[in-house]
Amino acid sequence: MAHHHQVTYTLQGADRESKKVLQRRSVTGSKLLEDGEQVLGGDLALDVLRVNSSQEESKSFLGGEEVIHAIILPNYKEDIDTLRTTLHVLASHPRASSQYEIYLAMEQKEMEAATKAAELISTFETAFAHVRVTFHPAGLPGEIAGKSSNVAFAARHILNTHARDEEDDPLMKELVADTHLLQDYFCEIRRLHFDNIASSERSFYCCPIIFDRNSSKTPILVRCADLMWGFAGVSAMYPSSPIMIPTSVYTIPLQLAKMVGGWDSDATAIGEDMHMLLKCYFGTNGDIITRAVYSAASQCNISSDGNLGWRRTTDILAARYLQALRHMWGALDTGFAIRKSFGNLSRPNWRLFFRGKQWALAHLLWEAHFLPCFLTIILIISSIYSALTPPNQIHPDLDWAFQFTALLRVCSFVMMNICMFVYDYWHYLCVNTRSMDMMDAGVVDAGFSFRNSWDRGCLLDRIIFPVAGTIYGPVPAVQAVLSHFWTDKLVYQVSQKPSFLSNPV
């Protein structure tokens, strides 16, 4: 229940901070500014938005300092329409042509990789500062085909490309193929970079994710699972958080990537977002500083085009389970963290083991990989025990514990409903902002799923979420952990995402 209270508090903070981000937006005269009162719920007047925008714009070019954004877009059997739409969104940003370097991280053994890369480069080569492609070779010792290996290979190329550049100091970003980022994400990272220049080399930037593209058209179990996946990511993004774990999207400076030796690409790095955070944490002896960027990354729920009706629903549910299994395969990172933690006990930096940040990180890993399984197993065992044991044979203390935990479950259910109610306001702010940006950019249909707290679908979400959470949380987690007794390798399967056929107009 305390965790649900923390999520509610964090969601309220995310909504508040997201509005501040929009105040700092430096695109005077944009449609967002014209409709500023509607987007921000009437909390801010248009003249305030424009004044802040002008002031930020003047500060923006003070001294002419800028940063280069090296963006890794991994592809492994992704649909080209998904990649094209993502690049259209990035190309619509004001600074894309001068500050965005795009790296298409392809898999060499994919039959259509070269064709897709050539088409994307031809379409977008003038929209960005650079568009480059890397092909992860097949058969490298200790490496597997998939997103993490492609990202690692592309990152090594970036490190080599900028190895001799003393002036350019890029910030490296890793995206999911279907991720849409607002221009505010890049502006906020730039602001945080220069506001904390003394510690910029140790900064690790995280942002919340939001499934706001096709959630209204996806099965309720999948929608609830993705909703709680987003909650898990944002739950640690409160102002005083000692450390945050990224979900899908993050940014690190080139110096930090060099310091820790780049990205890993072996089987244990399949959860590369969390794995890279852990690698940076231990690579800096715990001196990493995680910073929240309150511009949500827009993502899609899993989709399917193969069948219609109940067959389509079944396909999506099965595909989401495979995705959940891949997510929970990242439990290998708990072992990675334990090995690194105890390995430090015999080194000069042994004090790392006793720092508060270390235990905050351990708590986050426990929440991610142990808590869901633990609660589910306890619930099942206690229910079976209560059903098979006569009440007069249950010890009074144990009976009190059962009653108390039942009360906690009811309170947790209520708190999760409050979380969803608060989330709906933030969701509206994010979707409305993105829809206006896409209209300005001429991306006619990038997918927009609004939520109304009192719609039938949203009301059902508040009831069904325990079922969805169990199917796509503890069940694949237990399967993953048991599978690790035999192997740490998982065949990477790409989840199909919807194609919105967005084109510039």
- Structure token digits, residue 434: 């993105």
* 12 found inside a domain: yes
Strands, E assignment, 313-352: none
Domain extent at residue 459: 1-67+169-486
pLDDT of 51 reads 34
Give the H/E segment covering residue 153: helix 147-161
Given a contact cutoff of 8 angstroms between Cβ atoms, the answer to whether 225 and 468 are in contact is yes
pLDDT of 42 reads 44
* 218 found inside a domain: yes
pLDDT of 276 reads 93
- The count of structural domains within the chain is 1
* 38 found inside a domain: yes
Unique residue bearing structure tokens 């503890």: 474
pTM for the full predicted model: 0.88
- Structure token digits, residue 447: 């997918």
pLDDT of 44 reads 42
pLDDT of 174 reads 76
* 140 found inside a domain: no
- Structure token digits, residue 38: 């509607």
**C-alpha to C-alpha distance for 278 and 141, rounded to whole angstroms:** 23
* 103 found inside a domain: no
* 467 found inside a domain: yes
* 441 found inside a domain: yes
Q: What is the mean pLDDT of each run of 10 residues along the chain (505 residues)?
A: 72 91 66 46 39 40 69 86 90 92 90 90 93 87 77 88 68 82 94 92 95 92 95 89 92 91 84 92 92 94 82 93 93 91 68 78 92 90 92 92 92 93 94 91 82 91 95 95 90 74 47
Strands, E assignment, 146-214: 171-174, 203-206, 209-211
* 84 found inside a domain: no
Helices (H) and strands (E) in the chain — how many of each?
19, 9
